[in-house]
A and B are shown apart, each in its own frame.
Chain A
Amino acid sequence: SQQGEEDPQALSIQEGENATMNCSYKTSINNLQWYRQNSGRGLVHLILIRSNEREKHSGRLRVTLDTSKKSSSLLITASRAADTASYFCATDARLPNAGGTSYGKLTFGQGTILTVHP
């Protein structure tokens, strides 16, 4: 199965409500990233959280990381219709070498489709 798996697969909310998406993964990671994809377009990087961080904020976005549970969540506060998109988590796995580095190869989950109704 995928390294990163999002939950729920689809989320439908009203404008102004908060949206929470969850991601679980299986192996040790260097970092976890969240991306957004508008319909028919490429992915856009939203936020990155390192394995030694627990929470990160960027505007209306809040990301948490629990490495003991191998899970992350993305919270979008005060959602807008323009937030309608697919959201993906991606993990940068830690290689089993002395430095634990990687080539930045990411493993993506299947995504959460968020619909925000005006």
Chain B
Amino acid sequence: DVKVTQSSRYLVKRTGEKVFLECVQDMDHENMFWYRQDPGLGLRLIYFSYDVKMKEKGDIPEGYSVSREKKERFSLILESASTNQTSMYLCASSPWLRGYQPQHFGDGTRLSIL
């Protein structure tokens, strides 16, 4: 069974802090994704990566960066956390299979910025 593990279920940080959210998948998937989920807005893609050291901006990359040094790990970085980044963050992975790419999600990190 595919497992996508996010390092924390709940996290509380202060404004201005540098925050790291970690995600690890165990299925050798090429693609990895970071989303944020807010009430009424659904899931919005922040960044994705289709290979080690590769990254692509999603729909809302401002205020975030990512790192993918190893295939199984994809990190989301909030360079200087702000209160409007309080949200549920979801990581996902998928294989690179043309025309058939279901995503597997972690359980999410609920991040509060005070």
Q: Which of A67-118 contact B (CB under 8 A)?
A: 88, 90, 92, 99, 101-111
Interface residues of A in 22-79 (CB under 8 A from B): 30-31, 33, 35, 40-45, 48, 50
Are B43 and A44 closer than 8 Å at their CB atoms? Answer: no
In the bound complex, what is the Cα–Cα distance between A5 and B24 (angstroms)? 30
B64 at the interface (CB under 8 A from A): no
Query: Whose C-beta in chain A lies nearest to the C-beta of B99?
Result: A30
Q: Indicate whether A2 reaches chain B with its CB closer than 8 angstroms.
A: yes
User: Closest Cβ of chain B: how far from A106's Cβ, in Å?
Assistant: 6
Which of A30, A42, A110 sits near B41, CB closer than 8 Å? A110
The interface stretch among B13-21, B65-73, B75-83, B100-108 is B100-108
Are B107 and A108 interface neighbours, CB within 8 A?
no
Which residues of chain A are near B94, meaning CB under 8 Å? 104
Does A111 lie within 8 Å of B42, measured CB to CB?
yes
Assess whether A42 is in contact with B107, with CB atoms less than 8 Å apart.
yes
Q: Point out the residues of chain A lying under 8 angstroms from B44, CB to CB.
A: 108
Given A42-B90, A43-B90, answer yes or no on A104-B103 (Cβ-Cβ < 8 Å).
yes
A102 to B98, CA, bound (A): 8
B37 to chain A, nearest CB (A): 9
Q: Is the beta-carbon distance between B40 and A110 smaller than 8 angstroms? A: yes
Are the C-beta atoms of A45 and B102 separated by less than 8 Å? yes
List the A side residues contacting B56 at CB < 8 Å.
103, 105
Query: Distance (Å) between the CB of B26 and the closest chain A CB?
Result: 15
Contact A101 B98 (CB under 8 A): yes
The closest CB in chain A to the CB of B2 belongs to: A45
Contact A41 B103 (CB under 8 A): no
Residue B58, interface by CB 8 Å: yes
A104 touches B31 (CB 8 A): yes
A42 touches B4 (CB 8 A): yes
Nearest chain B CB to A103's CB is how many angstroms away? 5
B74 at the interface (CB under 8 A from A): no
Contact A45 B43 (CB under 8 A): no
In the complex the two chains form, what is the Cα distance from A104 to B92 in whole Å? 11
Q: Is B45 engaged at the interface, CB distance under 8 Å to the other chain?
A: yes
Report the minimum CB–CB distance from B50 to chain A (whole Å).
Answer: 5
Interface residue from A42, A92, A105, A107 paired with B105 (Cβ < 8 Å)? A42
